[in-house]
Amino acid sequence: MPPILIIDGHLDMAFNALFYRRDLTRPVMELRNREDSVRGGISSHPDSLERRKGPQTKHFTPTVALPDMRKGRVGMMLSTIMVRVQDPHDNTHNAVRTQAIAYARGQSHLAYYKALEHKGEITFIKSITQLDACVRSWESPTDTTPIGLILSMESADPILGPDQVGEWHGAGLRSVSLTHFGANTYGHGTGTVGGLYPPAYALMDALAETDIAIDLSHASDLSFWQIMNYWKGPVHASHCTCRALVPGQRHLTDDMIKAITDRGGVIGMVFAEQMLSPAWNWDDPRTHYTTATRPMKAVLEHMDHICNLTGNTDHVAFGTDLDGGFGLELSPTDYNTIDDLQCFLDIMRAHGYNENDVAKFAHGNLIRFFKSNWS
Amino acid sequence: MSDHPYLIIDSHLDLGFCAIQINRDITQPAATVRVHDAESTMRGFGSCTTTFHELHKGHVGIVFGTVMSRIDPNDEWTRTGMWDQTQCHGIGMGHYAVYKAMERIGVVRQIHTSKDLDDMVTAWQNPKADTPIGLVLAMESADPSLDPEQVPYWYDLGLRLVSISHYGVSSYCHGTGTEGGLLDRGRPLLDALKEAGIIVDLTHTTDQAFWEILDYYDGPVAASHHNCRALVPGQRQLTDDMIKAIVERGGVFGTALDAWMLDPDWQREKPAWAQTTKATLESVADQIDHIAQLVGNANHSGIGSDLDGGFGQEQSPRDLNTIADLQQLPEIFKRRGYSETDIQNITSGNWVRLLKTVWGKI
């Protein structure tokens, strides 16, 4: 089948550009070569001699860059501002010590997207008009068609207070996850057992004044239900899989899936070993490992499960999280670069999904979700 | 320490970098940050000396805070060196956002105009516990400015001083450690800086670029963190001719406190933890004294410490524990026979004069 428009509902592009220092305007294969050459390369800063180097960070092989997205017609994305307040001991360095630092890192991510827009590489999508225009531009794309960006935020720590919500909305923010890993400013996220902190309610009140959706992907179980009880606005899970199939609090229970989809929410399918393998338990680090075992087809198990629960194909989408703190090593075994997402659509077809279902999964459901929330 | 503290202006601090790359809570005492750093994943930037708490303690009431990111593909160390200017712009805006976040909690007040500057100078005559630190936005390597057309945008954010290169080769000019001059895009950038009224910082230019910029650019110049080649050899320092050329243009120097720029015996190829510098705060005074003797007055020197700019206490004058110890400098100048006026000019007056000359009355 010819390629169709894909919207990826969860990518961490700015984090990759500013922490892993990837120039995402270059193809993935070039990024891989560059990263091989950098290891052992000498910075022009003379203090960066070996004695000065911090501990080596783990290296993950990149799979996502803008030219490869164009090649695979991944013409639109939700991409994050990603930084959280948490004891900074983790190896991906997106946990910071204070909310002021989180705000500044978040602003650096926003500024990177703006610089990409300045260069014509991407275009911000803030309205239905812009969304429709972007969809149209991808009906007959060229090598330079800008990729549409709906700005999202993974952990709300960069929002310094309810009074700042308007500023972030003006900048393009349309989806916020209140928490991420650990206990953050607004509440408990993945891997913890607490709920929301009091500032979360004032923040939600301010968010309710806008058309920003709440992303439940990284809520702890208690936070999840506290949000669902208090928040009347749009909800979705940008990148989640099913706890009925894989163990750990990171995944959605059937009740959670029903609660989200009953309110019109869409659930993004993650293309990562740690989300697809029953052998990997999020709540038990002893089960974590470094090489993928599962192919893209494993994503179908989760998609089927959600579609069976809801009785339709209206609530599933891509939310791959590719390169989101991992790389090729933990991506599906038959996946190499992001243009391979088109192959996944063929896997869906072979599995019996009709063309209408495929189109809904590839882009239709996310378009409907955002258009129904935006005025 | 003197019986009354002097207002000190520090013309070069990478505080934004300390916050978002090193992940330091720069509102805390240095001693607290040192404890934090020991358990941090981002080691390797030295022992903390500089936070807003320490600046306040040392009456360092006005600082130039940088936006710092450059083209430098191999910089796995600070992670401010990048492959492409889009990334530099992101990092640079992150550093700016640190200062805005500090302003929001009342720790900083950004200085845009002569009036803002006067207000901060006045506030620091009788500072209170909550008197904010005045901050002038500076840029080290112009790469975060995506093109010359973006200069007015940065000016509106408060940018008032720019060095167009840093280490390596920026998008606009050859910098420290390289050989070469201005690049094609350098001159349009200088035009835009002139048009905006932004001071060109000659620190981190190559020798060739230094003279090319002075030939081409007739706006205000300075050297924000720069010592004397007559005392410490190497391209990173200014020759006497360069010093005279900057003085002729009314420029001001900030004396840097990085041990290798103060101590000719410092061995850069050796780890900082494997050597002890003989540099002290007296060595800082020696640098300032050299310029004063060369030009016949003390109207052009200041302090541009660069403390915590990728190094820490271990690579600073050995009698300096935190940046608050800059307050020992006035006593040293007194002992050396400098007048009260000279001391005030060195600690703050020369920078205030330059900024007000450039900015006018507004």
- Cα atoms found within 13 Å of the Cα of residue A121, Cβ hemisphere only: 20
Instruction: Quote the minimal CA–CA distance from B3 to chain A in Å.
Output: 36
**Closest chain B residue to A18, measured at CA:** B87
Lowest average pLDDT, out of A9-18, A30-39, A173-182, goes to A30-39
**Closest chain B residue to A44, measured at CA:** B168
Q: Is A98 on the interface with B (CB under 8 A)?
A: yes
Instruction: Average the pLDDT over A294-298 and give the result.
Output: 98
Query: Please, which residues bridge with residue A176 across strands?
Result: A153, A214
Interchain proximity A49–B269, CB inside 8 Å: yes
Q: What percent of chain A has pLDDT over 70?
A: 94
Q: Which residue has the higher pLDDT, B43 or B359?
A: B359
Q: Which residue has the tokens 């703006």?
A: A114
Q: What percent of chain A has pLDDT over 90?
A: 89
Interchain proximity B41–A54, CB inside 8 Å: yes
Lowest average pLDDT, out of A69-78, A86-95, A157-166, B353-362, goes to A86-95
Instruction: Quote the minimal CA–CA distance from B193 to chain A in Å.
Output: 20
Chain segment A309-365, per-residue pLDDT in tens = 999 999 999 999 999 999 999 999 999 999 999 999 999 999 999 999 999 999 999
Q: Which residues of A touch B77 (CB under 8 A)?
A: 43, 45, 47-48, 52-54
Interchain proximity B24–A21, CB inside 8 Å: no
pTM exceeding 0.90: yes
Chain segment A186-239, per-residue pLDDT in tens = 999 998 999 999 999 999 999 999 999 999 999 999 999 999 999 999 999 999
Give which of B131, B136, B117 is closest to B15, Cα–Cα.
Answer: B136
Instruction: Average the pLDDT over A157-165 and give the result.
Output: 98
Check whether A49 has a pLDDT greater than 80. no
Instruction: Average the pLDDT over A69-73 and give the result.
Output: 98
- What pLDDT score does B42 carry? 43
Check whether B351 has a pLDDT greater than 60. yes
A23, A39, A105: residue with CB nearest B84 = A23
Mutate which: A52, A66, A91, vs B, most B CBs within 10 A:
A52
Number of A:B CB contacts under 8 A? 184
Interchain proximity A46–B167, CB inside 8 Å: yes
pLDDT band at B340 (very low <50, low <70, confident <90, very high): very high
Check whether A89 has a pLDDT greater than 90. no
User: A235-261 in b/e burial notation, b at 16+ Cβ within 10 A?
Assistant: bbbbbbbbbbbbbbbbbbeeebbebbb
* Beta carbons of A35 and A59 less than 8 angstroms apart: yes
Interchain proximity A44–B169, CB inside 8 Å: yes
Chain segment B138-156, per-residue pLDDT in tens = 999 999 999 999 999 999 9
Average pLDDT, chain A: 94
Query: Please, which residues bridge with residue A79 across strands?
Result: A11, A151
- What pLDDT score does A9 carry? 98
- What pLDDT score does B3 carry? 60
Instruction: Average the pLDDT over B172-199 and give the result.
Output: 97
- What pLDDT score does A50 carry? 47
Q: Is A53 on the interface with B (CB under 8 A)?
A: yes
- What pLDDT score does A70 carry? 98
Tokens of A115: 């610089």
**Closest chain A residue to B19, measured at CA:** A101
Q: Which residues of B touch A118 (CB under 8 A)?
A: 86, 146
Distance, CA of B165 to CA of B182 (rounded, Å): 9
User: B252-283 in b/e burial notation, b at 16+ Cβ within 10 A?
Assistant: bbbbbbbbbbbbeebeeeeebeeeebebbbbb
A95: exposed, middle or buried (Cβ count in 10 Å: 0-12, 13-18, 19+):
buried
- What pLDDT score does A35 carry? 86
- What pLDDT score does A53 carry? 52
**Closest chain A residue to B15, measured at CA:** A101
Q: Is A33 on the interface with B (CB under 8 A)?
A: no
* ipTM of the complex in this document: 0.94
Interchain proximity B42–A54, CB inside 8 Å: yes
Chain segment B266-322, per-residue pLDDT in tens = 998 887 878 899 999 999 999 999 999 999 999 999 999 999 999 999 999 999 999
Distance, CA of B36 to CA of B21 (rounded, Å): 14
Chain segment B86-143, per-residue pLDDT in tens = 999 999 999 999 999 999 999 999 999 999 999 999 999 999 999 999 999 999 999 9
Check whether A51 has a pLDDT greater than 70. no
